[in-house]
Structure 1
C-alpha cells in the first residue's frame, strides 16, 4: 500500500504528509536500536501488560522482542533504549505516605551514571540519542536533570513540568484490561445507535473533575456524567457500554494532564472531548486531532452541552468516522503491525531525533 495514500486515508497527516511518510518509511528500512541489558527486575526488563500504566510495559515487551529494529552491537545503533518501568520504580522504592520521591530520582541518576561510565555512547551526545518510555505521573520528576537531554516518551505530557515539544513524545495512556487480549471489546455502536450525548465516570482526582461534576452530575438526562463507579466486573462492563453508546466521551485531566479516557474513547469509537489546558496530544506532529476529537479549554465546562449541541450532524459524523480511521494507530498487538501503536511511538521517537539533528 502506498504510504502517503494510507496516511491520508487515516487522517494521519496534515501539511507535512510527504515528510512524515518518508520518515516512517526510512525508519522501517534503517532504524537500529540498542536495548541496554543493565538493571535488574522488577524495575528493569519486567513489562507490566495490564492496567493503567500498560503502555510502558507493552512497548518494553515488543521492543525487547523485536528482531527488525533491535541490534546486539551498540555500534550499529541510531538510538539507545533504557528499559525501565516508572510504575515498578514507584511500587518498589516509594515509601507510602512519605511524600518524598527523592530516592526514586536518585535511583535513576545512579543508573544513568552507570550507563555513562560503562559505555561510551551516552556521553557522545549527552544522552540525546537515548530514549525512555514511561507512563507513571512521576516520570518527569524521576528523570529530571540527569536524563534531561534524553528523548522522553511520557504519558504525563505537560509543557509546564518540563515536556519539550520537538524532543519529547506524548505517550498514549492505554488502560489494558486483558494482557492476553488487549483488543478485547474493541469497537462500539454505529452513530445512529449512540443515544447518549456525553459520558464521563471516574474518581474525583485533581481540581478539574469536581468542577465537571458540580456543573453536570445528575443535572441533564442527555449528559451521563457520573462520579466513580463501584468496583466489580458489572461496573466495568457498564462503563464500557456507556462509552460504546455515547456520541462524545469527556476526558478531563486528573491530578496530571493526561487521561486514559482519550485512548479508551478511540478504542470504543466515541469522540474524545479533551479538557486539559497544558496537555500535548499523542502524535500531534503527524495526527490532525481536529478531525477526530474536540479539545476544549477548562473554562468551557459550564458551556459543555451548548458546545456539543452546536456541532452540526455532518461534522459529528465526520468526527466519528475520523475516530474509526485513526483507531489503528492506538492499538497494541502481540505481533506489531504497520502503523500500530508500537510503530507510532517508535516513529515519533525517531522523528524527534531526526528533527533535533536538523536543528544543529
Structure 2
C-alpha cells in the first residue's frame, strides 16, 4: 500500500499544524502525532501520487485546537478551507469526492471539525479515537476507531495473576450517567474498588494489582483507560454502549476483554467472579499479554504495533472507486 501526503510550503502561515513534527509526542492525544511520525519513517509514504492507494490530509486537530488564531471555534473553517484548497490545486479529491482520503485525530473535537466539510464527514475515512456511532460525525465501517494511548517508552511491567488481589478497579471523575451508576452501585464494595474522583496515588499501583480494570464512558468514549489496562496486564471491562472498539475489524475483543452494557452494572461482580472461578480469567489475562504490542507506539514503527494496526485498518478501507485516467 502507498500513501500520498499533501505537501505544503514551509512558509505556510499554518505550517505548525502540518508536518514535520519536531517534538516527541506527549499527552492524552499522542496517537495522532505518533501516527504522523511513524508514517514519515515508513515505506508506505510515496512522492508519486499516481501510485497512491490513499491520500493523507495531514492537519493536526490538536495543534489547531491550541493555535490562538484558530482554537476550537475556528477548526471547522480551517478544515473546510484546507479541503477547498487541495481540491483546487490537485485533481485527486475531485476524482472520488474524497473517498480515498483520510485524516487522523484523537481529540474529541476532531469529530465536530468536519461539520463545514460535508464531503470529508460523509466520504473520507476518519481515523479517530472518538468512535461513538450514535453521535453525529462518525460513520461505522467507513471510519476507523483507534486507541487513545498514553506515551510510554518502557516495557510493560510483569505482574502474574496470582499477585493481583483486587477483583476490579475504577477511578475517575463523575462526568457521565454511566460512571455515576457504576459508583453508586459498587462504592461500598470490598471486591470491586471504585473511586468517585481521581486518585492521589499513582493509578499504576491499582492497575497492576487488579484482575479487571473498568473503562466507563465519561464525556466521551475515547479515554486512555483501555490502553492503560492492557499496558499493566489488567483485563479491560468496557462500559460504553454504541462504541466501535479500536481495531474492531482485526482483533477479537471477546478473547481479551469483557464488554458490558451499562444495564449490566448490577450483575458485574457475579460475572467477574465466575470468570475467575472457571479459569476463564487466566485465558483472558494471557491474551491481554499477547495483544499488548498492538497498543504501543514507537518512534520507529515496529511490526504489529499500533502504527501497523492502523495501516491495516486503512488497507481494509482503501477506496474501490474506479478512477478514470
Q: Decide: shared fold, TM above 0.5.
A: yes
Inter-CA distance 61–257: structure 2 relative to 1 (3 Å threshold) = same
Query: Offset at 1:289?
Result: 0.5
| CA offset digits 1:36-88 (Å, max 9, x no partner) | 1236333222656111101001001111232x111112222111111122112
TM-score with structure 1 setting the length:
0.81
- State how far apart, in whole Å, the 2-side matches of 1:42 and 1:175 are: 22
- State how far apart, in whole Å, the 1-side matches of 2:85 and 2:196 are: 46
Q: Tell me which of 73, 90, 94 is aligned to 2:48.
A: 73
Residue of structure 2 equivalent to 1:157: 131
- State how far apart, in whole Å, the 2-side matches of 1:125 and 1:183 are: 40
- State how far apart, in whole Å, the 2-side matches of 1:94 and 1:193 are: 51
Residue of structure 2 equivalent to 1:201: 171
- State how far apart, in whole Å, the 1-side matches of 2:41 and 2:159 are: 35
Q: Tell me which of 55, 59, 63 is aligned to 2:31.
A: 55
Residue of structure 2 equivalent to 1:221: 190
Query: Offset at 1:269?
Result: 0.9
Please show how residues 76-95 of structure 1 align to structure 2 within 5 Å.
76-93=51-68
Residue of structure 2 equivalent to 1:28: none
Task: For structure 2, list consecutive stretches of 5 or more residues without a partner in the other structure.
Answer: none
Query: Offset at 1:313?
Result: 3.7
- State how far apart, in whole Å, the 1-side matches of 2:182 and 2:15 are: 40
Which secondary structure does the structure 2 equivalent of 1:132 belong to? strand
Query: Offset at 1:357?
Result: 5.2
Residue of structure 2 equivalent to 1:274: 238
- State how far apart, in whole Å, the 2-side matches of 1:164 and 1:172 are: 17
- State how far apart, in whole Å, the 1-side matches of 2:94 and 2:48 are: 17
Query: Offset at 1:302?
Result: 2.5
- State how far apart, in whole Å, the 1-side matches of 2:184 and 2:222 are: 21
What is the aligned residue count? 311
Relative to structure 2, which stretch is displaced further, 74-83 or 189-198?
74-83
Q: Does 1:324 align with 2:289?
A: yes
Query: Offset at 1:304?
Result: 2.1
Relative to structure 2, which stretch is displaced further, 197-206 or 337-346?
197-206
Contact kept, 8 Å, 1:134 with 1:155, in 2: the verdict is yes
Contact kept, 8 Å, 2:171 with 2:199, in 1: the verdict is no
- State how far apart, in whole Å, the 1-side matches of 2:104 and 2:141 are: 16
Inter-CA distance 320–102: structure 2 relative to 1 (3 Å threshold) = same
Contact kept, 8 Å, 2:212 with 2:237, in 1: the verdict is yes
- State how far apart, in whole Å, the 1-side matches of 2:281 and 2:177 are: 29
Query: Offset at 1:139?
Result: 1.0
| CA offset digits 1:262-318 (Å, max 9, x no partner) | 111111110000100011001111111000000000112222222211223411100
- State how far apart, in whole Å, the 2-side matches of 1:302 and 1:296 are: 11
Contact kept, 8 Å, 1:188 with 1:270, in 2: the verdict is no
- State how far apart, in whole Å, the 2-side matches of 1:255 and 1:309 are: 29
Query: Offset at 1:196?
Result: 0.6
Q: CA RMSD in A?
A: 2.0
- State how far apart, in whole Å, the 2-side matches of 1:76 and 1:195 are: 54
- State how far apart, in whole Å, the 2-side matches of 1:150 and 1:273 are: 31
Relative to structure 2, which stretch is displaced further, 47-56 or 272-281?
47-56
- State how far apart, in whole Å, the 1-side matches of 2:120 and 2:27 are: 26
| CA offset digits 1:168-220 (Å, max 9, x no partner) | 110111122xxxxx232613410111001111112222332122222222x11
Inter-CA distance 287–230: structure 2 relative to 1 (3 Å threshold) = closer
Which secondary structure does the structure 1 equivalent of 2:169 belong to? strand
Residue of structure 1 equivalent to 2:229: 265
Contact kept, 8 Å, 2:98 with 2:119, in 1: the verdict is no
Inter-CA distance 277–70: structure 2 relative to 1 (3 Å threshold) = same
- State how far apart, in whole Å, the 1-side matches of 2:155 and 2:198 are: 19
Which secondary structure does the structure 1 equivalent of 2:259 belong to? strand
- State how far apart, in whole Å, the 1-side matches of 2:30 and 2:3 are: 21
Residue of structure 1 equivalent to 2:250: 286
Query: Offset at 1:94?
Result: 8.4
Which secondary structure does the structure 2 equivalent of 1:160 belong to? coil
- State how far apart, in whole Å, the 1-side matches of 2:33 and 2:177 are: 29
TM-score with structure 2 setting the length:
0.90
